[in-house]
């Protein structure tokens, strides 16, 4: 939680200002919204807090994806969205399912009709039937730690706090409905959230888990550490670095778990069996213990490997449990505290006793960019993207060959990387870029997105332009759903080819009427220099010119449409296609 959040707080609280106070205590400065008739009073109350910024998105699905990106990039790994009743809730549900898959703390607040509508049984709009007013509440139960509705002003604070505490303690999304007539009702002054979290503490089994892990570790001769994607919700890079130094063994990262400096001498590369680097895969398989930290074993994480056949040599440390050989499970652990205890336990340092293969790290597969009219090639594009990655950059890869393009890049120190591998929702990347750029504004977000994924959520570019954000977007235009064509081709994999560069610069224009927005002095003035530029890249020379513009106009959103021949794809994508049923 943040430090002193008590300055300039009101003496009297209503439910809306109470929620705003809790948002601040969570370390959140921005919240994502779509307005609707059921949440307007609540939005008015949230706007009264000058330390919070409202970010309006184009639709509810995109608010969820934006919150996902924000939660990944923000230090406290938390995000908040406010949406309308049921129509908004069911729209955002897909994005929250993705956040659930990676234990992101996303608080979804939905407006809903006044309490009289529920008490009197009145029919109301946005409901699938007159008798089904709880549709969203039920739908969210499967993907949240709490799905609740405030039913009175007297109980509002308790209901809200219970959900927020569950969100933080379990590191899972929650869903809260706030009736229109309660949003501005008076409620009690909030107690500090840290006190509420302390009271909710449960006994843990960290001591038992630590001993069990050390017993297995001590019996191993050739251990490796595997880092998975879920470490980012609980552990800092510094903590991971200390653990790596303590253990001394080779370190591999799952494709969505690149949370260690790639120049560290113990980093041996990515671990994506059947897809990347057979030498690295053999090194892991030749070890006698896999110590997994936040790892996952979906069909996309290991399409060519049956994880169950290796259970005898895997210790998997997860957010709230430890899985050990012989099907032993220790639940009720706290990952952050357990890892710190492991570091300080005097555990033996075990340098590599494996054959140190000359790992052919895929980041080496790049090519020089020539100042010529030769067609743009993927390998040259990798070099161009690599050159845009600076300290504090955030690299985001949407679903598709962009996943593997990211694997061909070496992450410089201070660069964060995010991909939504377990849920794999195409279209996540553009709104997630919006959220990540807002949360981590000291560097630029670099997005790799295919043309098919872009068409699903393209409109959120307008929010980036309106907010004058400056991410770098590489659109891989390979004329369709290339990841699907390698798995199972058919006419459904081919899409309309948009004029993407014209589209990117069309999202923000001068208004057709004066004073159309009485709440602002005006977004676009006469002669306004649009804070975005777009380039169509068809040749190597085009790429060089575009990259130069990225550097010289670094305060603008850079949109680069990379025209890639449909047959020019990574070998890893072909392997994925061959491995899927």
**pLDDT (tens digit per residue) in 120-138:** 877 888 988 888 899 999 9
Residues facing residue 559 across a β-bridge: 473, 534
User: How many Cβ atoms from other residues are within 10 Å of residue 543's Cβ?
Assistant: 24
In a domain, 275, yes or no: yes
Residue 368: closest CA among 562, 543, 551: 543
Query: Does residue 31 sit in helix, strand or coil?
Result: strand
Per the prediction, the chain carries an average pLDDT of: 91
Instruction: Quote the percentage of the chain above a pLDDT of 70.
Output: 93
> What's the number of CA atoms in the CB half-sphere (13 Å) around residue 74?
27
Summarised one tens digit per residue, pLDDT across range 155-170 is 999 999 999 999 999 9
204 burial level (CB within 10 Å; 0-12, 13-18, 19+): middle
In a domain, 32, yes or no: yes
Residues 449, 328, single domain; the answer is: no
Residue 247: closest CA among 355, 343, 356: 343
| Residue where a domain stops, chosen among 310, 336, 353 | 353
Residues 148, 210, single domain; the answer is: no
Tell me how far apart the terminal alpha carbons of the chain are, to the nearest angstrom. 45
pLDDT at 383 over 50: yes
Summarised one tens digit per residue, pLDDT across range 47-77 is 999 999 999 999 999 999 999 999 999 999 9
> What's the number of CA atoms in the CB half-sphere (13 Å) around residue 95?
36
Q: Name the DSSP class of 394.
A: E
Q: Pairing relation of β-strands 78-83 and 105-112?
A: parallel
Residues 392, 462, single domain; the answer is: yes
Percent of the chain that is helix, strand, coil (3-state, to 5): 40, 20, 45
Residues 164, 215, single domain; the answer is: no
Asked if residue 580 lies in contact with residue 493, where contact means CB atoms within 8 angstroms, the answer is no
User: How many Cβ atoms from other residues are within 10 Å of residue 203's Cβ?
Assistant: 6
Q: Pairing relation of β-strands 223-227 and 289-293?
A: parallel
Confidence bin at 275 (pLDDT 50/70/90): confident
pLDDT at 5 over 50: no
Residues 400, 339, single domain; the answer is: no
Of 204-213, 377-386, 507-516, 517-526, which range is least confident?
517-526
Confidence bin at 487 (pLDDT 50/70/90): confident
Q: How many domains does the chain have?
A: 3
Residues 231, 184, single domain; the answer is: no
CA–CA separation, 547 and 525 (whole Å): 28
- Residue span of the structural domain in which 326 resides: 205-353
**Which residue would you say has higher pLDDT here, 267 or 522?**
267
In a domain, 53, yes or no: yes
Residues 283, 142, single domain; the answer is: no
Q: How far lies 81's CA from each of 110, 273, 368, 415, in Å?
A: 8, 37, 44, 26
Q: Pairing relation of β-strands 328-331 and 321-324?
A: antiparallel
Mean pLDDT value of segment 238-260 = 96
Q: Name the DSSP class of 539.
A: B
Judge whether 478 is annotated as a binding position: yes
Query: Does residue 187 sit in helix, strand or coil?
Result: strand
User: How far is CA 60 from its chain centroid?
Assistant: 16
Confidence bin at 3 (pLDDT 50/70/90): very low
Asked if residue 41 lies in contact with residue 183, where contact means CB atoms within 8 angstroms, the answer is yes
Residues facing residue 147 across a β-bridge: 175
Longest CA–CA span in the chain (Å) reads: 75
pLDDT at 417 over 80: yes
Residues 196, 213, single domain; the answer is: no
Query: Does residue 81 sit in helix, strand or coil?
Result: strand
Mean pLDDT value of segment 138-157 = 97
pLDDT at 363 over 60: no
pLDDT at 525 over 60: no
pLDDT at 454 over 70: yes
Residues 555, 410, single domain; the answer is: yes
Asked if residue 394 lies in contact with residue 440, where contact means CB atoms within 8 angstroms, the answer is yes
Judge whether 497 is annotated as a binding position: no
Residues 501, 444, single domain; the answer is: yes
- pLDDT at position 121 is 77
């Amino acid at each position: 939680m943040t430090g002193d959040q008590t300055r300039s707080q009101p003496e009297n609280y209503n439910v809306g200002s109470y929620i705003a106070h809790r948002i601040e205590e969570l370390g959140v400065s921005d919240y994502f919204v779509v307005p609707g008739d059921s949440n307007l009073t609540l939005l008015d109350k949230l706007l009264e807090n000058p330390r919070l910024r409202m970010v309006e998105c184009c639709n509810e699905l995109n608010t969820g994806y934006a919150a996902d990106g924000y939660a990944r990039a923000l230090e406290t790994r938390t995000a908040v969205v406010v949406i309308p009743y049921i129509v908004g809730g069911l729209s955002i549900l897909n994005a929250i399912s993705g956040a659930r898959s990676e234990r992101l703390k996303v608080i979804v607040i939905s407006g809903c009709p006044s309490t009289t509508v529920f008490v009197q049984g009145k029919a109301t709009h946005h409901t699938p039937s007159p008798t089904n007013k709880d549709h969203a509440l039920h739908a969210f139960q499967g993907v949240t730690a709490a799905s609740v509705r405030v039913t009175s002003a007297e109980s509002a604070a308790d209901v809200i706090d219970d959900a927020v505490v569950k969100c933080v303690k379990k590191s899972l999304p929650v869903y809260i409905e706030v009736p229109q007539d309660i949003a501005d009702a008076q409620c009690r002054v909030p107690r500090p959230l840290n006190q509420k979290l302390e009271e909710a503490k449960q006994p843990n089994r960290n001591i038992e888990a630590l001993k069990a892990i050390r017993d297995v570790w001590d019996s191993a001769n050739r251990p490796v550490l595997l880092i998975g994607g879920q470490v980012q919700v609980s552990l800092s890079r510094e903590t991971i670095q200390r653990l790596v130094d303590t253990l001394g063994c080779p370190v591999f990262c799952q494709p969505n778990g690149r949370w260690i400096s790639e120049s560290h001498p113990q980093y041996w590369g990515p671990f994506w069996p059947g897809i990347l680097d057979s030498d690295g895969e053999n090194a892991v398989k030749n070890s006698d213990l896999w110590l997994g930290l936040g790892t996952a074993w979906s069909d996309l994480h290991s399409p060519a490997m049956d994880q169950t056949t290796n259970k005898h040599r895997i210790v998997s440390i997860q957010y709230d449990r430890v899985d050990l050989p012989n099907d032993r499970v220790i639940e009720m652990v706290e990952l952050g505290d357990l890892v710190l205890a492991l570091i300080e336990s005097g555990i033996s340092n075990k340098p590599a006793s494996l054959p140190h293969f000359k790992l052919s790290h895929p980041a080496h597969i790049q090519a020089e960019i020539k100042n010529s009219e030769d067609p743009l090639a993927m390998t040259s594009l990798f070099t161009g993207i690599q050159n845009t990655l600076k300290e504090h950059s955030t690299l985001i890869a949407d679903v598709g060959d962009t996943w593997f393009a990211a694997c061909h890049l070496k992450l410089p120190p201070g660069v964060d990387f995010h991909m939504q591998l377990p849920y794999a929702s195409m279209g996540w990347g553009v709104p997630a870029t919006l959220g990540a750029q807002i949360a981590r504004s000291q560097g630029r977000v670099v997005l790799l997105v295919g043309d098919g994924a872009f068409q699903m959520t393209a409109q959120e570019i307008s929010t980036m332009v309106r907010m004058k954000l400056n991410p770098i977007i590489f659109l891989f235009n390979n004329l369709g759903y290339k990841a699907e064509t390698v798995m199972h081709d058919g006419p459904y994999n081919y899409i309309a080819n948009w004029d993407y560069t014209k589209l990117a610069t069309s999202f923000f224009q001068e208004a057709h009427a004066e004073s159309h927005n009485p709440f602002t002095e005006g977004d676009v003035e006469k002669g306004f220099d649009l804070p975005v530029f777009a380039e169509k890249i068809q040749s190597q020379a085009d790429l060089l010119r575009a990259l130069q513009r990225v550097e010289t106009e670094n305060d603008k959103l850079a949109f680069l449409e990379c025209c890639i021949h449909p047959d020019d794809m990574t070998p890893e994508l072909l392997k994925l296609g061959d491995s899927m049923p």
